[in-house]
């Protein structure tokens, strides 16, 4: 079996969240921190240009009530160029699992906790990581307490047909699996990523022109 080509620290990769039934997607260029058989770690610095999904009229997705948020036929989708504001985000994607862990910091640089984004198992392509967001998320506080986030959105996504009841149950099961990882304080939570700092010589990663061209709003 051929070993995958690992990306080197400092390389740019594109982290894509595709959207079912629509061409809108979230696309974030990031710097590789580590990439090996254990998984990918990548850095999204403040000021990075990215592509994000918006409503067909350019409005923010969260401006729509939760009950209607996943009704794409009623509220269409488009892409907007935007900039990542606030502190940068370190993303840790362990190999073969349907989630990634984001290390959050405050504006003062102090560690604020972990955000676990539930998503499909990552596909590696030519300098791309491709996945789909699973709506339900977890917030892990520095004291290791865990809170589930956006359960109401997952229920709305099921009603809108984005996920079946069986798929939603599997997503809830994934959340429970992460909660078990936290209880055991296993990798990646125990790996010390909260103390990591980016290489100050790295320039901002650039969004590839093909994705810039997809933006309906700038």
Query: Is 149 tagged catalytic?
Result: yes
- CA dist 130 → 92, 113, 153, 154, 189 (Å): 14, 25, 22, 21, 23
| Residue of 149, 154, 156, 207 marked active site | 149
Token couple for 84: 């990542």
| CA atoms within a 13 Å half-sphere pointing along the CA-CB vector of 160 | 21
Catalytic residues: 149
């Amino acid at each position: 079996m051929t070993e995958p080509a690992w990306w080197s620290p400092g390389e740019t990769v594109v982290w894509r969240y595709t959207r079912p039934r629509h061409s809108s997607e979230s696309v974030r260029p990031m710097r590789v921190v580590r990439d090996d058989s254990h998984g990918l770690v990548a850095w999204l610095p403040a000021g990075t240009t990215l592509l994000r999904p918006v409503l067909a009229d350019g409005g923010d997705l969260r401006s729509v009530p939760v009950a209607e948020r996943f009704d794409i036929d009623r509220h269409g989708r488009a892409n907007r160029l935007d900039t990542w504001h606030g502190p940068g985000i370190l993303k840790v994607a362990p190999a073969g699992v349907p989630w990634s862990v984001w290390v959050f910091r405050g504006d003062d640089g102090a560690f604020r906790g972990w955000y676990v984004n539930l998503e499909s198992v990552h596909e590696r392509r030519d300098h791309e990581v491709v996945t789909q967001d699973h709506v339900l998320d977890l917030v892990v506080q520095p004291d290791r307490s865990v809170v589930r986030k956006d359960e109401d959105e997952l229920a709305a996504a099921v009603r809108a047909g984005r996920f079946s009841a069986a798929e939603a149950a599997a997503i809830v099961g994934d959340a429970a699996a992460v909660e078990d990882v936290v209880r055991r304080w296993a990798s990646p939570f125990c790996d010390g990523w909260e103390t990591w700092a980016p290489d100050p010589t790295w320039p901002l990663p650039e969004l590839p022109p093909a994705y810039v061209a997809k933006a309906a709003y700038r």
